[in-house]
Chains A and B, each alone.
Chain A
Amino acid sequence: MLEMRGITKRYPGVLANDGIDLQVREGEIHALLGENGAGKSTLMNILYGLAVPDAGEILIDGKSVEIASPHDAIQRGISMVHQHFMLVPVLSVAENILLGEEPMAGPVFVDRAASHRRIRELGDRFGWQIDPDKPVGSLSVGWQQRVEILKALYRNARLLVLDEPTAVLTPQETTEIFGVLRKLRTEGYAIIFISHKLYEVLEVADTITVIRRGKVVGSRNPKETNEEDLAELMVGREVELTVDRGESKPEQPMLSVANLTVRDDRGNEVVHDVSFEVRAGEIFGIAGVAGNGQDELVEAITGLRHASSGTVRLGDRDVTHASPRELHRLGLAFVPGDRHRFGMVLSFPVTDNLVLNDYYHAPYASGLRRNDEAIAAYAKEAIEKYDVRTPSADVPAGTLSGGNQQKVVVAREFEGELKALVLDQPTRGLDVGSIEFIHRQAIARRDTGVATLLVSAELDEVLEMSDRIGVMFRGRLVAVLDGRTADKEDVGLLMATGGREGGVQPQTLEEAS
């Protein structure tokens, strides 16, 4: 019923979709598999009228259509369950479902009786006891998702797009949602199911299309494939080693994390009982699909988030509850993953960004007075040493290219007496030259005896850089592997499945070191 042809979408610096073709039939669950950032969401935003493609066309029932807004999409029977629910928390279940398509009693008022009846009827189809008057904000995430699905069905959708629907669900809720999807399939709905979880896709889909770096790299029938095959398609086979990381000479443990448990902003436990040690002079890489608790782990280690239990030690000091400034003073440097949010102040000149966390002490300040000469001298030196391409040290950092912005952050963090270094997605979205430069600097720092923790969703980067590799899955560290012998496919499978099948034996810390 749906066909997308040659969809191409370019964002500044990224080719998000590169000539994607996709066909979906009625009564089919079509899985769209790919890593985060592979271009799945962009494709679906185009289908739903939230983004305009640069090239390509969309056909529904064989007719070319233009979808310029969600309204158009809804009119054509396409509904989307977004990863971040599009629900208004303070409105009731009924109000959320009706919004935009209200049954009316007269010209002004919403027909509450009719709406309640219809919502109950819809719920009954799946055996859901739903209270239409409950505010959506008071529902659990699983129930909110059901409201989203009811919202789509209420709008007489024929094609349902679910963007990572299981990301926020418990295993039981996931099983239940799969039941709902199967029921919808038998009723003739077409379903696009976006995921990066292999076993889920294998369990529920009729057809699997794999996308990597904005391109369709293959289509599979779940009956004729397995997790290894899909993992390889999803992450790619080729590992391009561009940096010779040499031999590491690990010494005593420097950064030790023990039984760390962390909650996210909504209070969900997203890091469970994680323990590992990073030794002086080694790079410990953490691989994992984005959103498996890495962000919260890093924030807890670097003092930006409060750990609910467990300890973090730097050398022989307990720094579990240390502030970012204390940690910095003790020799823990941190290149944050979201450099625009945490790493720098875009409206400030490069100089100020280079001393963002050292501005308050000598030689950059004496008492209340900033010592601008010292800052400028240091900036000149750092810009040269870290090859920051900027017209001058005084231009706003926001005017620099992404690679040069990140070099500013790296210059700031890598300098000085360091014990440990936390690199969170240090090369995300950068050009090849900058990536290589930053990798070389990190290895040089390692070789001066710094314990380096590298967290990245780019598997290639972790494989290329790490002396040891830990894999995170659903908030747990499920395996620790030796970086010299780790196989990309094995790690990919661990990332995608958490080693559920037992295909790879997770090594213990002792074995891997």
Chain B
Amino acid sequence: MSERTGFAGWWDRARAVAMLPLISIVLALVFGAVLLIVSSPLINGWDPLLPFTAYRALAEGAFGSVNGLVNTLVNASPLVLAGLAVGIGFKGGLFNIGAQGQFLAGALCATIVAIALNSASPLVAIPLSILAGMVGGLAWGFIPGALKAFTGAHEVVTTIMLNFVAIQLVSWVISGALRGTGPAVTFARTDPIVAASLPIVVGRSGHLGLLLAALAVPIAWWLLFRSTTGFEIRTVGANPDAARYAGMHPRWITILTMSLCGLLAGLAGATEVLGEVRYMPASYGTTVGFDAIAVALLGRAHPVGILFAGLLFGAMQAGAGLMQSQAEVPVQMVGVLQAVILFFLAAEIIVRRTLRIRTAGTGVSSELQTVSRSYGEQASR
């Protein structure tokens, strides 16, 4: 094995890591094209060129204008934050399906503080609301972490359950205590968030949350790869026995990791509700927490990868509107593409074998070996 050094070495590694995600994206686009052609009779009659029209509109919507670009960033930022929440979990050997619930818990706590401080100065209201969101998410991540560490209850099941508990919690608080009374309130929701609403920093809708998401990536990277805590998280994730041998405390690290995941997802929820929605509805319809799983997998649980994956998914969501209006292709096409990308990633071995690719076998699925395989052992400790 010849190892190149310097920039060439870095390039080799980047190519090896990015190869499979890129191939998966291409294969998914091909699959999507076939689906578009097959379903074109339902749209505007038989049209073998529909994929081109649709994908062009998608790209134009995402990148074709300043507003499109800003939209891409606005859509990407919660995905990046929640994607980090899932990705750091992966690094720590945990499958966090609960980003959705942590997102909601964060959004809820941020809203509670924001509404309470609605007449305060933004300089006070904004940081406190964001902080509240992070704390809320942290709490929602701490619970499954502690349950895993001390009872062995598998986090996959507990986080799924907590997602639904969060939905009910939001509904209770918002339709009850926090239900708005102002003229804008026509259904169960809060009054508009005023003081704590995040300032627009770019374009028509690019709020402060973009900066927070952009900041979170290097911080997460530093934390994972340049700090001792990150080293502990990664060691526990890769080999809990070796971690114990090396004097680390796998239980506490597990709790810490899940709390950190919750904090990031909570931050995503806070920025979304303070910057984008600017009020909190009792039934908050979002799929950010689930898309985040796809983002983290596509980004191979690496902060930089998650940034790119989040941008890609954000772009697809931003462009979906134009795709629907120009090419009359429903926005749900984007979800199909996301799932198919994941499918090819999961079937990594098959894709490799079929396409005869030889790259570094550092797939996320191999990092996950300690995760869901222990599912049946949840009670054995």
Contact = CB atoms under 8 A, between A and B. Distances in A.
Nearest to B362: A347
Interface string B226-241: 1111010011001101
Contacts of B242: 341-345, 356
B295 to A, nearest CB: 22
A352 B248 CA distance: 14
A347 B239 CA distance: 9
Interface in A237-276: none
Contact of A348 (B234, B241, B244): B234
Interface string A363-383: 001001110100000000000
Contact of B246 (A357, A365, A395, A399): A357
A345 B247 contact: no
Interface stretch (A71-79, A321-329, A458-466): A321-329
Contacts of B229: 368
Contact of B235 (A334, A336, A348, A369): A348
B245 A370 contact: no
B247 A324 contact: yes
Contacts of A392: 3
Contacts, number: 66
A161 B241 CA distance: 34
B227 A369 contact: yes
A347 B244 CA distance: 17
Given A324-B244, A341-B242, A368 B227 contact: yes
A357 B247 CA distance: 6
Given A345-B239, A395-B3, A370 B247 contact: no
A183 B265 CA distance: 68
Given A343-B245, A356-B246, A391-B1, A370 B239 contact: no
A386 interface: no
A314 to B, nearest CB: 15
Interface residues of A, number: 30
B245 A324 contact: yes
A326 B239 CA distance: 20
A357 B244 CA distance: 10
A334 B362 CA distance: 30
B131 to A, nearest CB: 20
A328 B246 CA distance: 9
B222 to A, nearest CB: 9
A449 B246 CA distance: 24
Nearest to A356: B246
A194 B319 CA distance: 69
Contacts of A360: 228
Interface string B89-113: 0000000000000000000000000
A105 interface: no
A359 interface: yes
Interface in A286-335: 304, 323-326, 328, 334
Interface residues of B, number: 20
B312 to A, nearest CB: 26
B53 to A, nearest CB: 44
A325 B1 contact: no
A311 to B, nearest CB: 21
A368 B3 CA distance: 31
Contact of A365 (B228, B235, B239, B248): B228
B226 A369 contact: yes
Given A324-B247, A336-B245, A356-B246, A345 B238 contact: yes
A341 B228 contact: no
Contacts of B3: 391-392, 395
Contact of A359 (B231, B238, B241): B231
B13 to A, nearest CB: 10
A370 B228 contact: yes
A89 to B, nearest CB: 11
Interface in B196-253: 226-229, 231, 234-235, 238-239, 241-242, 244-248
B227 A342 contact: no
A324 B247 CA distance: 5
Contact of B245 (A304, A346, A391): A304
Nearest to B231: A359
Contacts of B228: 359-360, 365, 368-370
Contacts of A357: 245-247
Given A323-B247, A325-B247, A328-B247, A345 B235 contact: yes
B369 to A, nearest CB: 10
Interface in A60-112: none
Contacts of A334: 245
A474 to B, nearest CB: 26
A39 B235 CA distance: 34
Interface string A185-204: 00000000000000000000
A344 B235 CA distance: 9
B246 A324 contact: yes
A352 B367 CA distance: 17
Nearest to A347: B238
Q: Which of A304, A325, A344, A345 gathers the greatest number of chain B CB atoms within 10 Å?
A: A345
A347 B235 CA distance: 10
Contacts of B241: 341-342
Contact of A370 (B227, B246, B362): B227
Contacts of A399: 1
Contacts of A324: 244-247
A368 to B, nearest CB: 5
Interface in B125-149: none
B235 A356 contact: yes
A92 B101 CA distance: 41
A323 B235 CA distance: 18
Interface in A381-412: 391-392, 395, 399
Nearest to A357: B246
Nearest to B230: A370
A308 B26 CA distance: 59
A166 to B, nearest CB: 27
A356 B1 CA distance: 26
A411 to B, nearest CB: 15
B244 A304 contact: yes
A359 B1 CA distance: 29
A344 B242 CA distance: 6
A7 to B, nearest CB: 32
Most chain A C-beta atoms within 10 Å of own C-beta, residue among B1, B229, B235, B242: B242
Of A328, A346, A360, most buried by chain B (CB within 10 Å of CB) is: A360
B123 to A, nearest CB: 29
Nearest to B248: A325
Nearest to A391: B3
A244 to B, nearest CB: 32
Contacts of A328: 247
A304 B229 CA distance: 21
A370 B221 CA distance: 13
A382 B227 CA distance: 22
A454 to B, nearest CB: 19
Contacts of B238: 345-348
Nearest to B1: A391
Given A324-B245, A370-B228, A372-B226, 8 more contacts: A324-B244, A324-B246, A324-B247, A345-B235, A345-B242, A346-B238, A357-B246, A368-B228
13 contacts: A323-B247, A325-B247, A325-B248, A328-B247, A341-B241, A342-B244, A343-B245, A345-B238, A365-B228, A368-B227, A369-B226, A370-B227, A370-B228
Interface of A: 304, 323-326, 328, 334, 336, 341-348, 352, 356-357, 359-360, 365, 368-370, 372, 391-392, 395, 399
The 4 closest A-B pairs by CB, nearest first: A325-B247, A357-B246, A342-B245, A356-B246
